[in-house]
Amino acid sequence: MSSVAVAKKKGFGATLWDYLTTVDHKKLGVMYLLAGTLFFAIAGLEALLMRIQLMLPNNDFVSAGTFNELLTMHGTTMLFLAATPLLFGFMNAVVPLQIGARDVAFPFLNSLGFWLFFLGAIFLHLSFFLGGAPDAGWTSYASLSLYSPGHGIDFYVLGLQISGAGTLISGINFIVTIITMRAPGMTFMRMPLFTWTTLITSALILFAFPPLTVALFFMLVDRMFGANFFDHVMGGNTIIWEHLFWIFGHPEVYILVLPAFGLFSEIIPVFARKRLFGYSSMVFATILIGFLGFMVWAHHMFTTGLGPTANAIFAVSTMAIAVPTGMKVFNWILTIWGGSIKVTVPMLYALGFIPSFVAGGVTGVMQATAPLDYQLHDSYFIVAHFHYVIVGGIVLAIFGSMHFYWPIMFNRALNETLGKWTFWFFFIGFHLTFFIQHFLGLMGMPRRVFTYQADQGWDLFNFISSIGAIMMAIGVLILVFNIIISAKSKPLNCRDYWGDGRSLEWALKTPVPFYNFKQTPLVRGYDPYWLEKHEGNEEGMTYAEPLGEIHMPNNSILPLVMSIGLFVAAFGALYHPDGEAWSIPVIIIGLAITVGAMIVRSMKDDLGFHVHVEEIVATEEQLYGKGGNK
């Protein structure tokens, strides 16, 4: 079995099969990145179509119904199917390397998490071709979604249910991996900050996704069987959907923004060439944000009539969460302060992120004031605030980290000049698009409207906003071009590409072998690679064990089969209310595929395989030439 490990597979079919069956965290990281990029492009196109529609007053570029579909799918895709998987891509690729592990705790589940996410996302997007996409906004408030005709909302409910299961599985996997698989000597207070933010994010996923699952289940039975959880005429309560959605939805913002904070906490010390300022306070701020993130959900509901007491409590807790976030900002600034700064593309994104994100945070504290929120609610001011947080925080982190971690993930580098072009187009376009929307909101323009009259004074600002959106699109196109060029460039085959790497992942030579570390590293302090370099250790690692056999997991097609089963069953559930005779058999067939794959998995003793010492030596020589990873 183990001899397969060294033999290089050739041919498109073999490579495709390898990716369909892989349980390797590095390959899954690449797949998350590719899938996330695909959905990012789709959601970006939807945004662009909306901005073209709003560019001029009384425009008829798209109809009102299409606009609602674009609006709903843009928000849903960006948050659930683009930002989340892109961040999962970095978590998968980087975290096991940072903690000195050979893979995640449950490689099989890692693969299952990816395929559930991907097929759920595909299912949701098939709605465009099968009778109309969801059209009740990305929050899908029950008062709208219950009465939405067609199958759009059913696609939303079933697609997110499948996709969310994948995210939940991945979250549990990372918690177990980080707690149980750290290299000897890596105490919690020596973990890199990206690993810390991944741990807290995964804990948030564990607690935030079940409320969403419950809400989607209620919506499913409401629409399919008339259960009336949310129908106020029949004794239900529409506001319950808002509570359930936002109990998930506000932590979801932190599920996205904490990994972004972690990524910038890796980038800034490398290019400021000094250790992260206030490490322990950064860790506690991360934990505090995670904790407080669950106590602020009703600030999305100030106008629903919860009463002054509830509004006051949630206003105070919302202002409180700004404190640990502020701590982080000051620590980043103090890390840069007095450093020997190298302005590379990742550092540009970090420098652009700090003021952009602070602007988003400031408008957030403004909205935490309940009386002011009454005025701003559902205006373009909210759209501006939200995008300053999401784009100014998360998208800049993803783009910066792509440049930063590309050498480790693909053994290639992205072009710096093209990277700078991307940054400036995207960054200027972003501020042009959303800064001006604060004023549109203050001038009274409501969000989610598909057109407006010429005499309301909103024409110029909407026009400028749309020009900004086009600039962002140009920036993204340059990035795509950069990625295509990098695929054709020659491999790097080097260690520590940026020259100032601090954590363990930079100690590995690229391309990283499938088993990551030939021997488990010994961690002797925070920033272990930096310590080893300064002590003159050429290899960048002290080992905790002699060279010996490595145990690795087998590939498996079962995760994909399980996910396909749920994908099939969802179609049966979708068409069941229409009275289709074939719907119940399709549900049964789909579930039978999934359960069958689970039974096969439980009956088979999958013990993995061992890589012998001579194979390790052969692999190292094949990758790095004579002498291996020295």
Asked if residue 595 has pLDDT above 60, the reply is yes
Q: Among residues 189, 187, 184, 191, which one has the least CA distance to residue 522?
A: 184
- pTM of the full predicted structure? 0.95
Tell me the DSSP string of 533-586: HHTT-TTS-EESS-S--EEEPPP-SHHHHHHHHHHHHHHHHHHGGGT-TTHHHH
pLDDT tens column, 17-35: 999 999 999 999 999 999 9
Mean pLDDT of the chain: 94
Instruction: For residue 240, count other CB atoms closer than 10 A to its CB.
Output: 15
Residue with tokens 């439980």: 602
Q: Among residues 166, 364, 358, which one has the least CA distance to residue 264?
A: 358
Q: Give the pairing type, strands 550-552 and 609-611.
A: antiparallel
CB within 8 Å of 447: residues ≥ 6 apart:
378, 379, 380, 382, 383, 441
CB within 8 Å of 151: residues ≥ 6 apart:
127, 130, 131, 132, 574, 575
| pLDDT, position 457 | 92
CB within 8 Å of 10: residues ≥ 6 apart:
none
Query: Considering only 91-95, 308-312, 491-495, which range has the smallest mean pLDDT?
Result: 491-495
Token pair, residue 304, equals: 């629903």
Answer yes or no: is 562 within a domain. no
Cα distance between residue 404 and residue 353, in whole Å: 15
Asked if residue 1 has pLDDT above 80, the reply is no
| pLDDT, position 22 | 96
Instruction: For residue 181, count other CB atoms closer than 10 A to its CB.
Output: 17
Omega prior to 511 cis, within 30 of 0: yes
Answer yes or no: is 486 within a domain. yes
Q: First-to-last CA distance in the chain?
A: 28
Asked if residue 579 has pLDDT above 90, the reply is no
| pLDDT, position 627 | 61
| pLDDT, position 8 | 53
| pLDDT, position 628 | 62
Cα distance between residue 28 and residue 568, in whole Å: 23
Asked if residue 132 has pLDDT above 70, the reply is yes
Answer yes or no: is 576 within a domain. no
pLDDT tens column, 459-474: 999 999 999 999 999 9
Task: State the angle between helix axes of 238-272 and 322-336 in degrees (0 to 180), rounded to the nearest 10.
Answer: 10
Asked if residue 3 has pLDDT above 90, the reply is no
Q: What is the CATH number of the domain that holds 125?
A: 1.20.210.10
| pLDDT, position 2 | 41
| pLDDT, position 4 | 45
| H or E segment and range at residue 78 | none
Asked whether the beta carbons of 226 and 576 are under 8 A apart, the reply is no
Domain of residue 529, residue span? 12-556+606-624
| pLDDT, position 565 | 97
Asked if residue 246 has pLDDT above 60, the reply is yes
β partners of residue 542:
522
Average pLDDT over residues 71-90: 96
pLDDT band with cut points at 50, 70 and 90 for residue 577: confident
| pLDDT, position 626 | 67
- Its sign, for the CA torsion 181, 183, 186, 191, is negative
| pLDDT, position 225 | 85
| pLDDT, position 630 | 57
Token pair, residue 129, equals: 């071709």
pLDDT band with cut points at 50, 70 and 90 for residue 224: confident
Instruction: For residue 604, count other CB atoms closer than 10 A to its CB.
Output: 11
Asked whether the beta carbons of 152 and 73 are under 8 A apart, the reply is no
Answer yes or no: is 45 within a domain. yes
Cα distance between residue 506 and residue 35, in whole Å: 25
SS3 track for 466-526: HHHHHHHHHHHHHHHHHHHHHHHCCCCCCECCCCCCCCHHHHCECCCCCCCCCCCEECCCC
Answer yes or no: is 272 within a domain. yes
pLDDT tens column, 46-65: 999 999 999 999 999 999 99
Cα distance between residue 111 and residue 109, in whole Å: 5
Token pair, residue 386, equals: 């939200």
pLDDT band with cut points at 50, 70 and 90 for residue 606: confident
Token pair, residue 111, equals: 């693969």
Cα distance between residue 201 and residue 394, in whole Å: 14
Asked whether the beta carbons of 171 and 209 are under 8 A apart, the reply is yes
Asked whether the beta carbons of 118 and 35 are under 8 A apart, the reply is yes
If one counts the domains in the chain, the total is: 1
Q: Is 623 exposed, middle or buried (0-12, 13-18, 19+ CB in 10 A)?
A: middle
| pLDDT, position 121 | 97
Answer yes or no: is 567 within a domain. no
Asked if residue 5 has pLDDT above 80, the reply is no
Answer yes or no: is 514 within a domain. yes
Answer yes or no: is 37 within a domain. yes
Token pair, residue 436, equals: 């001006």
